[in-house]
Each structure stands twice: as C-alpha cells, then as structure tokens.
Structure 1
Amino acid sequence: MMTSEWGEKSTAELMSRYVSKEPGHGVPKEGWRICLAHEFKEKRKPFQANNVSLSNVWNHIGLGVRYLIWWYKKTQVEKKAPFIDMFRAQPLRQIYGAPLGGIGGGTITRGWRGEFCRWQLNPGMYHFKTVIANQFTVCLRRGGQTVYQQVLSVERPPTLQGWNWGFCGEYAFYHALYPRAWTVYHLPGQNVTLTCRQISPVIPHDYQDSSLPVAVFVWDVENKNDYDLDVSIMFTMVNGSGHKDDKSGGHWNEPFHLEKDGEAVSGVLLHHCTTVNPYTLCIAAREQPDREVSHQTAFSPKGTCRDLWNDLITDGRLDSPTGSSPPTLKGEKVAAALAVGCLVPAHKHNSLEFCLAWDMPKITFGSGEREHFRRYTRYFGIKGDASPSLSHYALTHYKQWESSIEEWQKPILQDSSLPSWYKSALFNELYFVADGGTVWVDLSKDDDVSGGVRSEDGGLPAQPAVVKEYGRFAYLEGQEYRMYNTYDVHFYASFALIMLWPKLALSVQYDIAGSVVQQDLTERLHLMSGLRSPVKTKNVVPHDVGDPDDEPWQRVNAYLIHDTADWKDLNLKFVLQVYRDFHLTLDRQYLQDMWPICQAVMESEIKFDQDGDGLIENSGYADQTYDGWTVTGPSAYCGGLWLASLCVMCKMARLLDESEEYQHYKDFLDRGRAAFDRLLWNGKYYNYDSSGRQLSNSVMSDQCAGHWFLKASGLGDEEYQVFPKEKIQSALKSVFDLNVMSFADGQMGAVNGMRPEGVPDRSSVQSDEVWIGVVYGLAATMIHEGMWAEGMRTAEGCYRTVWERLGMAFQTPEAYCEKNIFRSLAYMRPLSVWAIQLAVNMSQEVSTAAAKTEDNKT
C-alpha cells in the first residue's frame, strides 16, 4: 500500500476518504496500490558522467573518449541505436503500471493512471510515448437520456478537446498484483463504481497460453442507485504506437465478426502496414444477448474529435459502418473505437468484456538477415490474420487463466508468515519476464544451437529436445541496456525462470552452452582498455547472446566495454546454474549434455589460478559483473564463486560416475578453500580482495554469492560444506550491521561496498550504489541461514525505496545511490526476488520435516 504524501494528503488518507469503504469488485488485499491523484515528491535523475567524482573521471577518461567516437559512428554513420546510450538515459517517468500481454510476443504498458505509454512491439526495441487517444470512456443513461459521459483519465490534453477530460483522481485508485491489475473509479455524484480488471496470460508452467500477445479488460459496473442504468464503455485505439511510422501512410482499419464454438466476438482490426515487422492491432468485445456491441471503424485522432463523442452521447452506442477504411495518406493517423453497453439494474452488478490483441507473427531483428516466428504462431499461424482468433480465444479463456493465476498465487498470499510488501514485490517484479524486451521464438528446422560441435566431441545435439519443443527465449539485461541474456546478470534473475518456466530456463542454458564452443576471431576495439581482441573466444561463456538491433544468437557479445573472455565470473556462473537447474528439475539428460561444457569452461577458468594455490585471482581491472569496480588478486566475490563451482563439479562428477574428474576438482577445492580462508577471512567477514590496498578490506554485500547458490542447490552441508557456517553467518551479520543498518538509516537495502568504519566505499561508481537484484539475493542467503528477520528487513528497504518512495513501479532499476541518482531503469537483475521465495520454500520444508520428526519421537 502506498503511504507517500500527495500534497498535504497522503495516499492512504485519500484512499480512506474515497475508496476504502467500498474497494471495488474483486480487488485483492495484497499488491501495490496507489491513488490516481498521487504525486511522488522525490524526482531523481539518471546517472550521467557529471555525477562521477573527479578521481573516477580521471580513471575513465580513455573510456570516455573511445565511447564518444564509437557512439558518433554508431548513431551518425550507421544510423543505429547504441546498446547502451550514455548520453540519452531515460528520464524517470513515475507513471508505469502492469504491462499487457504474455511472454515473448511484445508488450504494451498501461500506466497506473490509465495511459498506454510504453511500447515494445518490435523485438527488444522500446519507445516511450503516451498515445493520448487510447482511452476508455464511460456513458451512463437513464430513461433514454445520457446523464454522464467521461473519459476515464485524469489528463487534460491540448488535443481531442471535444471529449470530457480531467476525471478527478481522488475518486480512483490503481492496484497491481501482476499479471493482473485493477483500477477502481467511483464516479462523482453518480453512485456508480467501475472496476476495470486487466488480465494478461502469464501463467507458470504454461507454455502455450503464456505466449499469447493479448490482454483482457473486464469492467465490473456496480449501480448503487434506486433506479436502473444503461451503461456503455467505449475503447478507443490509434492504429500504431505513437511512433513516427504511425504517419508513414498505408495503414487501414476494418470491422470483423467471428463466431466459433457457440461464442461470438466482434470488433475492429487496425492493420499497421510497415515494411519491417508489420502487425495488426485488434480491439474486440464478446457478444452476448444482453450486450450491445458497436464500433466506429475509423476516425482521425486529431482536432476535437467531437463527432465521435457526440455519436456515443446520443444513444450510448456508435454508428457501425460495415466497410474498411481507405489506407491512410502519408502524414495521417487513423484510430478506431469500440463500445459495449448493458443494463445494470438498481443495486446490482453487471460486466463488460474487452480484448486487446496484436499479431506480429514474423519478426526480423535489426540486421534484417533472418526471419523468426514467434512462439504463439505454433497455435495461431504465421499469416498475420490471427487477431480475430486471438481475441476470441482470450475472451473465452480468460476465466481459466484467472483461476490458474489464483491457484498459483493463493498459497503465498495466504501465508501469514510473509509480510505484505514482500507479496507485492514477488509478483509485481515478475513483470520483467514479459516486458524485458522478451522474445520467444520457435526453432526453425535449419537452426543449430550446438555451435557446430557434436556430442561425441564434447558438444551438444544440434537441436536439443527441450529447445526443439519449447523454442528459444531471450530477454534484455535492461530496457536501456540492450543485450539479450546478459549472463552475469541472468545468474541473479534466473531464479524466476527456473522456478516458474523451467523449460525456458533450460533452453537459455542450451543456447549459452552452444555459444561456449563457438569462436569469433574478428578483432574489435574494447572501450575500457583501448586494446583489440576477438569478439568471442572459444570455451568461455559469452557476456550476452546479442543485440536486438543486430542478429541475436548469430552474433554474440554485443557488450564491448570490456573483453569479457577475461572475466572471472561468467564461466563459474554457468556451472553453478547447471547444477542448480538440475537440482530443481532432476533432468538427467540436461545434466549429461551440460557436463562436457562445464568441463570446458572450468579448464578455461583454471588458468586464472596463476600461483597454483587452488584459488583464482582477479586481474586488477573490473573483470566481473561489477564492471566499474576494480578488484585485484583473490577476491571474496569471484573466489567464492570459484569454490562453489568446484563443489558442484565434484557433485556432478559423482552423479555421472566420473571418479577421476571428481578427484581433479576435489584437489583444487581443498587447496582453494584453504587459500580463500587464509587470504580473505579477517575474523568477521571476507575482505573485498587480498591486494592489501587501502580499500581491500571493504565489506562487499555480495561476498557470499557462491554460498548462496550452494544453498539454493541443496548443498552447503556435510560433505559439500565449502564455507564454514559460523564464518558465513558472521559475514552476513557484518553485512547487515554495516551495509544495511549503517546505510541510509537501514531504510534502503544494502549498499554494495561499505568501509568497516561505517561509511560507504566511494572508490568507484558502483561501490556506493545499491543493486536491487543483489540485495534480493543477499536476503535469500540470509533466509537460507536462518536470519529471517534480517533478510526481510534488507529486502524491504529496496522494495519500499523503489515502489513507494521513488515511483519506479514496473521499471525497477539496476541501481540507486543514497541520494539523487538512479541507473538503468527496468532491469533484469531484480527478478532475483524469486530466490527469496526459493529460500522461504526450503526453510519451510526443513521446518515441516523437523516437526514431523519431533512428532514421530513423541
């Protein structure tokens, strides 16, 4: 529940005054709620070069010059968008709500005030434009006369002046529990409550309906008057997305009617006829005997649009022409409207159902080299004529979707041991699985994900069964950091996939494994070092599988700031994920397929143990996911990941009866464990690194990442206890006392680096940031160790900062500082909140087992 202030009134006060007595039909208790009149007081700015300290500017002056040259060539010569645009960071717009649509078919975001305001229809490419004509409007009629007609928007735009704008936001609130959202409107002076329920088919373990590019809006109308009312809802939609190609000409609309299996839907198709990735939008409604469906095929969304307004106000319905609209001329836009009306008796409810669908079956990425077919085309075809069928299916199946969603969420929502804020964080952060520039495509008959190395030579099948059946999946590092399946970050985010859509998690792993054995010896300049080196080195894990503005999967490593072949964490994170995924799926074929790839990347990693003590060393550069924070020699973060990887290699060798390999990795583990303890343990926690530099004893919040993955994989005890329990708990207590409670009064999560004297480590641009996804992983580690209160307190600081204080709902960033700055809105890593739920599940299983044992003894 939002509790920040709006003017002199808090949101909670506004809710109490206007909405809490009758919260609306079916709105759950748990979730994120905000009054439509709310204004966030704090207005943060994105990270810019002028935010960097003078010492850090000097350290990165070469990077700045090289990036500027590269940026100019990319934007001015190649006419392409940079994969990270340091000069055009997205400003903070405190407007976003739950995105519409399933997984991998594109998304449209509807803001919490009702705007259609963020668009990702072309794969991985965003634009942030509010299309003001995309609205819902209500018309109330009594005795044949219209008594009230209002656009359900608080906006007062300079266009469409013939419409009645400016709904008073104090009379409405928005509530999100992804993948559903509710907006409740109390119509002033009308004694009528409207509740719009927004449903997208994002359903765990469902690999069909979850891929559909559709959303349903169900409007519940409650008439609290002593007389009957005729109620109509009108849905207007522009043919396009607010992009410049809306005016490119050749777009046209047509009405449709589809009857199938005794159910009928009708509406308007908006054909968007671009040269690249054309698509059709569809607004549709379900026809029923006591509903009247009408439409306006085409209207111009400029000027006053008074004719459309008067058409509805006259009789609560629209004039419904039967023909198609002519194609638009260049410079013109066209829109369509759909209205549904029904009788709502006195003191009764009734409901109206709408669907928004979009059909872009064939996609090409920025290079235009290959054509891909989205996952949903397996069920609805590739011809581009699926919008009527999609809308019919959505309107006749959404109740089943809701039942499945409720069955999934109910045990967590009803668990009284879990705090309310956590339940909101857990489900609402899941938005990124669909809205992370996500693509989900079928494997073509010619695709080879193995990298060309056959199984008998230590590679993979050309088309592994799981990829062939469930397709290829990719999501961005962030909406501003445009790289697919960024692997050092996916390490954190992957908990959501492996727990909810495990086949997609395994598909990602096969793609990464196939790219491990590939190489691209094309030399390119890396911006940090200024040196030239190959794009991709063989037998190392790639940083990412490519840029959607190029050709993902075919050309990997869009990231060119560092040469990531020298990174110390990527190979280790692959090995750790392989075993964790096996532990959670028990897919033995997967384990067997991944084993030779794990061996290959571990052999590449061993070279980083330059002194032969069994422990890898960092290079003195930023050679891991903290790519702006240098580390020298053995380090807590990479050293811990290394030991954990050796541990799971031993475990996998045992499972696969590889006794020689077991002994090989066990020898490294025994020596490395001793060196790790000797070089990094200081009696309270593990030092940041062992370099002996002034700041080498900083307290890193992420120092137990390796142990976290062991616990999440059911390891860390008895034979496979790598890190002594008392040392882990001491380290976590140090992190809690210093990085959490000594930072921002304990209200903002854990800062990445803290000095033992209780001030943030400001030696880099990242050491004094809070990384939300890292904090959620830290909280999970604490819960694994029985530190429930500390873990929840740590994670709560991030949720309340992002969602309640800073207005970053449905755009959780990678990072924020204590004051003023954030970095990289809408980021992958916070999906690690699902690691907390895994820790909760495992701790509850342990408690249940202990209770049963005690009962048996009794």
Structure 2
Amino acid sequence: MSPTKTMASRTVCDWPVLTRYDQDHLRRIALPLGGIGTGTISLGGRGNLQDWEIMNRPAKGFTPRNTFFALYAKAEDQPAVTRVLEGVLDELELDGAHGSTVPNHGLPRFRTCSFEAAYPFGQAVLDDKDVPVSVRLGGFNPLVPGDSDISGIPAAVLRFELTNKTDRTVKASVCGSLENFIGSDGNSGAPNHNRNVFRHQPGVGNDPGVRGMYMYSDGVDPLAEQYGTICLATTEPDVSYSEAWQGWAIKHGWGERLTNFWRMFSETGRLVTNDDRSEQAPVASLAASVELDPYATRTLTFLITWHFPNRQSWDILIKPKVPQANTSCCGGGICVCEPVERVGNYYTTRYSDAWDAAVVTAERLEELEGATIQFVKTFMDTDVPPVVQEAALYNISTLRSQTCFRIEDGHFLGWEGSNAHDGSCHGSATHVWNYESATGFLFGDLARNMRDAEFRYGVTEEGLLNHRLMLPLHRAQEFGVAAADGQCGTIMRLYREWRLSGDDEFLRELWPAAVRALSFCWQEGGWDADQDGVAEGCQHVTYDIEFHGPNPLSGIWYLGALRAMNEMAAYLGEDTLADMCRELFNYGSRWMDENLFNGEYYEQEIRPFDPQLIAPGLQTGEGAVNQQEPEVQLGSGCLTDQLIAQMVAALIGLGDLVDPEHVQRTLQSIRKYNYRADTYEAFNHMRSFVMNDEPSLVICSYPKGDKPAFPFPYYSEAMNGMEYAAAVHMLLVDMTEEGLQVIRDIRSRYDGRKRNPFNEQECGYHYVRSMASWGAILAWTGFQYDGVRHTMTFKSAAERTRWFWSNGSAWGSFEQSPEDEGTVIKLTVMRGMLTLNKLGIKGLGHVDYPASKRLSAGESIADKLVRPI
C-alpha cells in the first residue's frame, strides 16, 4: 500500500475511518450519498458536492451552478473570513479554454485538505492558517444490512464539525446554496418557473425541528422524468435564508447574483430574504449560525433530500438479430427506439415529497446514524485485513448508485453499470449479476425480490430465462435470449436465497419456473440435449458471444444448477427429479475432469455447429460465423473466471462441483499464467481498465502457445469482477497470500488519485460484478448459514479471532478463543432476529440447541467446543 494512502482502524471522531487519503490522492474521490434505489449525490475528495444523480438516471460530471457550502467565521476583534467549504482545486482542474471548468472556481477555498472514509461515511478535513476554525465536513446516508427501507432513504446527510483554533470567541455560519435545477438532469430538460420556499416543521420539547428550503416547479411537466422536488434543510435553530439570489434590474449575466450573495454573506454571515420570481432556476441559500467559545467544537447538520417519481423503463427494446444481421448494440440485438413507459420509484411511495423525506429523516437521524455506525464499526472491528474490508465495504456503494433501482411495485432491478448519462447494458443481466454476493448476504429481501422478477416474469413457458428483463415487467420476456451461464447461475442464486432465508413459501412459489428453467437445458438443440450432464451446445455467456462445445465457464455453472436443483427437489419431496439431477451431475462432473482438465487448468473443446440445429433463444448473432472452425472461442486458454461457479457453490454450501485437487491446480495456474506485473508489453485490442505499471490478472492467457487467431473478445482485458472471483476462490483454498495480493492490486488502482475508490468500472461506472468482493469476507471467515435447518458455521482460527457475519436479514459478530481443552465461541446478534439449532466451527464440531435458540438484537450465546481426545 502506498504510504500516501494508509489504513486505520479507529479515529477519535465518532465516525469510523478505514482509509485515509492525503491531498495528492483526492482528485478522483466521489463517495455516493443516497439510498438504495434513490440515486445519489457524491461527496468529492475536496469536500465538494458533485455528480448530482437524483433524477432517475446517471449524471456523471453534473454539478448545478452556484451550488456549494460556505463558511463565515469572525473571531472577536478580528476581521471576518469567508471560504467555500472545499479544499483547493487540483492542478488538473485548472485548465480549460476559458480557465478552470470547475463550478465556482473563483471562490476562496481552504489551503489544506485530506479525506477519510469508511463507507458510507466520508469526511473532508479542511484547514487554513488564515481561518480561525478548522472544519471536518462529513457526509453519510443510512446503511443497515437487513433493512432495505432504512438503507433506501433519498437523503444525503452532511455534518459540519467546526473547531475554534483560537483563544477568542468566534461567530460562525455555514451556508448551503443550491440552484433549483428541477427539470434538468444534466443531460436533457430545463428548469421552468421553478420556485423555492422556506418551511419550518417544529419539533417536540427541546427539539428545534427542521427548517429548510423546499424546491418545486410550476412549469416542468409533472409526467417528466426530471419532475419532482428537492429540499435543503437543517436541524439547527438559528437560521437565515434567501429564496433566490438577488440580481440587477438589467440582467447582464456578469455574475452579479454570485457577487451579491458573496458580499451579503461575507458581511455578517447571515442572509436576507429575497424571492426573485423572474428566475427560472432560482438559487436558494440556507445559513445556520453558531457562536464558538475558545477551542470549542460544534457540529451543524444539514440534509439534502429529493423526490422524483417518474422513473422510465429501460429506454430501448432490443430484438435478437437474425443470423444475417450485421449491426449490433447493447449486448446483442438491434436497438429499436420505442416510447418509454413509466415504472416509477419505490422510494417515492414512502414519502409524499422531498420535504416529507427531510422531516422524517431528521426525526430519526440519531437512530439512523447510530445503526449505521454500529454496522460499520462491527464490520471493521474484526480480524480481517483492511484491504479486504475496503474492497467489500466500498463496493456496496454500487447498490446506491443509478446502476440499481426499485420500481414502484418494489421490485429491485439493475443495469450492469452506468454510463455518464444513462444505464449501461440493461435488464438485470443474469450472467453479470451471477458474480456479486453482496446483495444476497446483506439485503436478502432485495435478492429474493430479484429472483421473483426473474422466475415469475422472466421465464417463458418453454423455460427460457430472459437474461435481460424488459420493463415494465409485463414485457419481461421480450428480449428472447437466454445466457447459459446466467440461467444456470440464477438457479444457484434461487437456492442461495431460499437457504439463507429458510422461506419455503418463496421456494414453492417459484419452483415450477425453476423446473422449467432447468428442463430448458435439455431441449432439442439446447445446451445438454442428450441429457448427460455436459453442456455441449451453443452457449451464450457473459463475454457477449457463444461458446460452441464443452467449456469450464458455463459447464461448471450447469453442474452447479444441477446440484442446486438436486437439493431443492429432494427437500420438496420430488425424488425422481432429485435423483435425475444427481445422476446428471455425477456424470457431468466426472466427464469435465476427465476431458477438459489438461493437467494445469480446464479448457474448452471447440466443436463445429450447424445453425439450423440450434434451438431458438440461444444466440444473439454476435458470435462465430465459421461453422466448422468457430471463431471468438476460448479454446486452450486459461480463463481467470473459469471456476466462478465452483467458487459460488463453495460460498453457498453446495460443495465440490469438480475435483478439488484440479481446482487447486487451476487456481495456481491462473496465478502463474494470468498475472501481469504491468502492461508495458501487453497487447489489448479492447478496453483498458489497467494501464502502465499497474498489476492485474488478465482475463485469459494462452500459455501453450496455441492462441486462436480470433479469441473471444475480452480475453486481453483485466476486469475487477473476474479478478475478485479468482481472489475469493484462492482464499477459500488456503492460497491466502495469492488471494490477498490480487485484492491489493485491484484496490491500488482505485487510490483516489487515478480512480475513484467508490466506483469500480467495467462496462460502465459502478459495475455490478465488482460486488463479488463481498465474497472475500465470506471466504476469510468461512461463514455459512442454513436458514432451513438453522445452522451456522465458521472456519477455525489458530488464535483468538473476531469476525463479522450477515445472512441477509440479521448480522452481528462471532468470536472464537482456542484453548488447550477446546475452543470458546460467542455469537452476538447486533440487529435482526436469528434462529439457531446448531453453531459450530468446521473441523472442530458444533453445539446443538434442540429447543432452538432465538436471538434478538443485542443478545449473545456462548459455548465451548471441547477438543476431541
């Protein structure tokens, strides 16, 4: 780890800190603040607010004009000073055709700045020798595993901790200014007769209540995607405000409004009410004032909330191409412009408008903040390497980005990633979402919600699971193509969600569709038409092409689906299906090891194909055209994510899908052949997510020297999600240092200077596949939970150890203390409800609770595993 970016486990502040970034590593930091499915505003490394992505779509680079927080500070008998509450601009932000392009670049800022983070907490630490107070600007939003409503609040909470550095009394004000940009999302639309009004919701007793500027529009179409409300509020009692910055009677556009505001605020730190209704996008300002005794510290709280109800459906209809088509778009198909349909937002059904969201959030803020601190501190206060914690925790931010959303009926859906102004690759793509493990283990209701959308709406009568769901969900089956890896992996995820929740009704409702989805593999011209447990047919995969012939990627996913269906069918009493799945699995697993394992890793057996014999819905038309010698194949290559299904199976308790000795050798080969210390001599004809001296695992290598003339398209790239999958698997098989190094390499690339630590990229920003990093927590601790049988297990540790656990609905800590005669164990539930029949350590045994232990938040259970004589 670079010495300029260090890890820390604690700070004297109430908020936890995992990573600290110095002033040279702030350029790319943008920590998303907002709830799951609501959009976000990002807290930049300098303390600036950027990327206002609250209007139903991404908006990278969008910052409304005249939007910032400023400080007024006057020490007794000293001149007043005014500063924007941001650090100085980075040198790369200074250049432009007309000077710096940063909004409000000409305003004075703090000379020094650093950034501290433990997602969702971010803090910009500001200081200046000419300012009598130092400032710690903190931003967060509630994030509590197992509670998607608390974690889905449309709010950014900002704390301004002011510390008087002098021996004099200081009068200070913090002022937030926000342009009412309703109607414009940074890409399209425009404000139209927007209005700002001051509101006050009194509190109870000594509670000062909420005061703030409520923003709405009288002119924007109420059905527009950009229509809604915004609120800038504070819980401070001493406030002043202005509904609109004052201009001149003759509007020259020479910055007079900013000049007038800055002069007014700099004189007294207070604002004068002004309502200029001639402005289409008036700027509202809200100031909170305090008096600081010598060396005293005070914290002022602001909230920014929003409410934009008109989310639209995926904005394209993709029709699978005919074989003769020569155009392509969006992962397979011809883009046909279609009128979009409103699908709405779940969060806007919970609040009447942005003011309601501000009031409700403010009333519960102490509770919400406390629960979030408890989660992050519990997560950090464990014996897990900080870089593993960082990779897992910081990628949860993807759930809050515009990559993910909840439509009005509550269904949770997502793109693969986000472009600058729209989603990237629509449809909750099954093959990409296969990799991530954060949703299932942190927000089980959302994971079950996704499975409901897929199996209830996305599976046809023939069993084709559309690997991209269309919206609204009554159109879910219009895409018409299944991905072999995606369909089989989604069956495994159905098993995961059922096993973690123990919800039999959930399983039974979706079971008929799951049976159809498995049977789809066996159709004539399908993936396993001869029903021998080997996927040999035309297999569309996550690399956006079709593999022809048996291969480890989709082949092992198929084995995992067979094992999952075997387990679920046996539980439901469908013995014939259970036995059939087990028989196919046994044969297919043996065949894979005997025919595809080359002594070092698994490879593909490329087979010719006849397009007339391929079943409908198995290809997009982007793959091979040479029927006898198919192009864009894997062949003898060593694929970094060839064992992804085996890794997932290990995490969810499905056991070995192929020979464990072959798995170990394969992972060693991946490390040996796919590792690149740098890219100086590397050829890459596609996208570059790794450059120059950055180390990585390339997606595919050809160590035997027989690389096809045209391998599959992304073979020369390095993708974070694939790297995490390999790293997690290495941790699972005790290749600890190798797995850690892969994770270190990834996170060194997201150091704040080169890339944003809270935005891992692949095909778009905030890419879903990087949430595979949560699997490193599961692998490190060995955590497994079976909600059907109510058993929980961890792996053994050689010394006293404390770990975090979460099963999607409850979470807490687990401690084990090895002693001469046995191991003392203690399980604590921090939040949620947990039922236990067995608690144990793999290899050491378990404790039985015949009467079942039911643990609520704050309750613990302690026992001792006696070491066998």
**Equivalent residue in structure 2 for 1:624, among 541, 555, 567:** 541
Structure-1 residue corresponding to 2:771? 831
- Quickly say closer, same or farther: Cα 1:299–1:136, change in 2 above 3 A: same
Asked if 1 retains the 8 angstrom alpha-carbon contact of 2:521 and 2:529, the reply is no
Are 2:277 and 1:326 equivalent residues in the alignment?
yes
Asked if 2 retains the 8 angstrom alpha-carbon contact of 1:99 and 1:431, the reply is yes
- The one-letter code sitting in structure 2 at the alignment partner of 1:640 is I
- Within 5 A, what are the aligned runs for 1:204-353? 204-240=145-181, 243=186, 247-262=190-205, 263=207, 264-272=209-217, 273-275=219-221, 276-277=224-225, 278-288=227-237, 292-299=238-245, 303-304=255-256, 305-321=258-274, 325-326=276-277, 328=279, 332-353=280-301
Structure-2 residue corresponding to 1:492? 435
Structure-1 residue corresponding to 2:702? 755
Structure-1 residue corresponding to 2:862? none
Deviates more, 1:149-158 or 1:349-358: 149-158
Are 2:407 and 1:428 equivalent residues in the alignment?
no
- Report the Cα offset of residue 644 of structure 1: 1.5
Distance 1:161 1:604 in 2: 55
- Report the Cα offset of residue 813 of structure 1: 0.9
- Report the Cα offset of residue 128 of structure 1: 3.1
- The one-letter code sitting in structure 2 at the alignment partner of 1:235 is G
**Equivalent residue in structure 2 for 1:130, among 23, 47, 63:** 63
Structure-1 residue corresponding to 2:528? 609
- Report the Cα offset of residue 394 of structure 1: 2.4
* Cα-to-partner distance string for 1:309-352 (whole Å, 9 max, x where unaligned): 1111111111134xx54263xxx432111111101111111111
Distance 2:731 2:303 in 1: 42
- Within 5 A, what are the aligned runs for 1:338-737? 338-365=286-313, 371-381=342-352, 386-416=353-383, 418-443=384-409, 471-480=410-419, 481-493=424-436, 495-518=437-460, 538-546=462-470, 551-556=471-476, 564-565=481-482, 567-606=483-522, 607-610=526-529, 613-619=532-538, 623-628=540-545, 631-691=547-607, 696-716=635-655, 721-737=656-672
- Quickly say closer, same or farther: Cα 1:347–1:250, change in 2 above 3 A: same
- Quickly say closer, same or farther: Cα 1:162–1:540, change in 2 above 3 A: closer
- The one-letter code sitting in structure 1 at the alignment partner of 2:444 is P
Structure-1 residue corresponding to 2:849? none
- Within 5 A, what are the aligned runs for 1:58-69? none
- The one-letter code sitting in structure 1 at the alignment partner of 2:357 is L
List gaps (5 residues or longer) in structure 1: 4-9, 40-93, 444-470, 520-537, 815-822
Asked if 1 retains the 8 angstrom alpha-carbon contact of 2:243 and 2:282, the reply is no
**Equivalent residue in structure 1 for 2:18, among 1, 9, 30:** 30
- Quickly say closer, same or farther: Cα 1:160–1:473, change in 2 above 3 A: closer
Q: What is the SS of the residue equivalent to 1:509?
A: helix
List gaps (5 residues or longer) in structure 2: 248-252, 316-337, 609-628, 681-692, 784-792, 797-815, 817-840, 847-864
Asked if 1 retains the 8 angstrom alpha-carbon contact of 2:212 and 2:286, the reply is yes
* Cα-to-partner distance string for 1:217-256 (whole Å, 9 max, x where unaligned): 1111111211111111111111116636674421111111
- Report the Cα offset of residue 207 of structure 1: 3.0
Q: What is the SS of the residue equivalent to 2:473?
A: coil
Are 2:130 and 1:194 equivalent residues in the alignment?
no
Bigger fraction of residues in helix: 1
Q: What is the SS of the residue equivalent to 1:225?
A: coil
**Equivalent residue in structure 1 for 2:46, among 113, 136, 143:** 113
Distance 2:769 2:276 in 1: 45
Asked if 2 retains the 8 angstrom alpha-carbon contact of 1:429 and 1:833, the reply is yes
Q: What is the SS of the residue equivalent to 1:130?
A: coil
- Report the Cα offset of residue 362 of structure 1: 4.7
Bigger fraction of residues in strand: 2
- Quickly say closer, same or farther: Cα 1:708–1:173, change in 2 above 3 A: same
- The one-letter code sitting in structure 2 at the alignment partner of 1:839 is A
Distance 2:179 2:478 in 1: 34
- Report the Cα offset of residue 709 of structure 1: 2.0
- Report the Cα offset of residue 206 of structure 1: 1.5
- The one-letter code sitting in structure 2 at the alignment partner of 1:545 is L
Asked if 2 retains the 8 angstrom alpha-carbon contact of 1:108 and 1:121, the reply is yes
- Quickly say closer, same or farther: Cα 1:645–1:146, change in 2 above 3 A: same
- Report the Cα offset of residue 667 of structure 1: 2.3
Are 2:721 and 1:787 equivalent residues in the alignment?
no
- The one-letter code sitting in structure 2 at the alignment partner of 1:763 is P
Distance 2:389 2:705 in 1: 31
Asked if 1 retains the 8 angstrom alpha-carbon contact of 2:728 and 2:779, the reply is yes
Distance 1:785 1:300 in 2: 66
Structure-1 residue corresponding to 2:781? 841
Percent identity between matched residues is 22
Distance 1:568 1:689 in 2: 16
Deviates more, 1:305-314 or 1:805-814: 805-814
Asked if 2 retains the 8 angstrom alpha-carbon contact of 1:130 and 1:242, the reply is no
Distance 1:114 1:378 in 2: 32
- The one-letter code sitting in structure 2 at the alignment partner of 1:625 is T
- Quickly say closer, same or farther: Cα 1:23–1:758, change in 2 above 3 A: farther
Distance 1:824 1:491 in 2: 17
Distance 1:805 1:297 in 2: 38
Asked if 2 retains the 8 angstrom alpha-carbon contact of 1:643 and 1:672, the reply is yes
Q: What is the SS of the residue equivalent to 1:555?
A: helix
Asked if 2 retains the 8 angstrom alpha-carbon contact of 1:364 and 1:372, the reply is yes
Cα root mean square deviation, aligned = 3.2
Tell me the TM-score normalized by structure 1. Answer: 0.76
Distance 1:484 1:160 in 2: 35
Structure-2 residue corresponding to 1:525? none
- Quickly say closer, same or farther: Cα 1:677–1:759, change in 2 above 3 A: closer
- Quickly say closer, same or farther: Cα 1:540–1:124, change in 2 above 3 A: farther
Distance 1:146 1:391 in 2: 36
Asked if 2 retains the 8 angstrom alpha-carbon contact of 1:485 and 1:545, the reply is yes
Structure-2 residue corresponding to 1:452? none
Asked if 1 retains the 8 angstrom alpha-carbon contact of 2:556 and 2:657, the reply is no
**Equivalent residue in structure 1 for 2:747, among 799, 804, 810:** 799
**Equivalent residue in structure 1 for 2:116, among 166, 175, 185:** 175
Distance 1:112 1:722 in 2: 45
- Report the Cα offset of residue 796 of structure 1: 1.9
- Report the Cα offset of residue 143 of structure 1: 2.9
Q: What is the SS of the residue equivalent to 2:73?
A: strand
Asked if 2 retains the 8 angstrom alpha-carbon contact of 1:777 and 1:833, the reply is yes
- Report the Cα offset of residue 370 of structure 1: 5.2
Distance 1:162 1:650 in 2: 62
Asked if 2 retains the 8 angstrom alpha-carbon contact of 1:373 and 1:441, the reply is yes
- The one-letter code sitting in structure 2 at the alignment partner of 1:345 is D
- Quickly say closer, same or farther: Cα 1:808–1:215, change in 2 above 3 A: closer
Asked if 2 retains the 8 angstrom alpha-carbon contact of 1:253 and 1:298, the reply is yes
Q: What is the SS of the residue equivalent to 1:770?
A: coil
Asked if 2 retains the 8 angstrom alpha-carbon contact of 1:163 and 1:306, the reply is no
Distance 2:102 2:501 in 1: 54
**Equivalent residue in structure 1 for 2:107, among 153, 165, 168:** 165
- Quickly say closer, same or farther: Cα 1:741–1:270, change in 2 above 3 A: same
Distance 1:742 1:312 in 2: 53
- Report the Cα offset of residue 623 of structure 1: 1.7
- Report the Cα offset of residue 596 of structure 1: 1.6
Structure-2 residue corresponding to 1:773? 721
Distance 1:127 1:592 in 2: 42
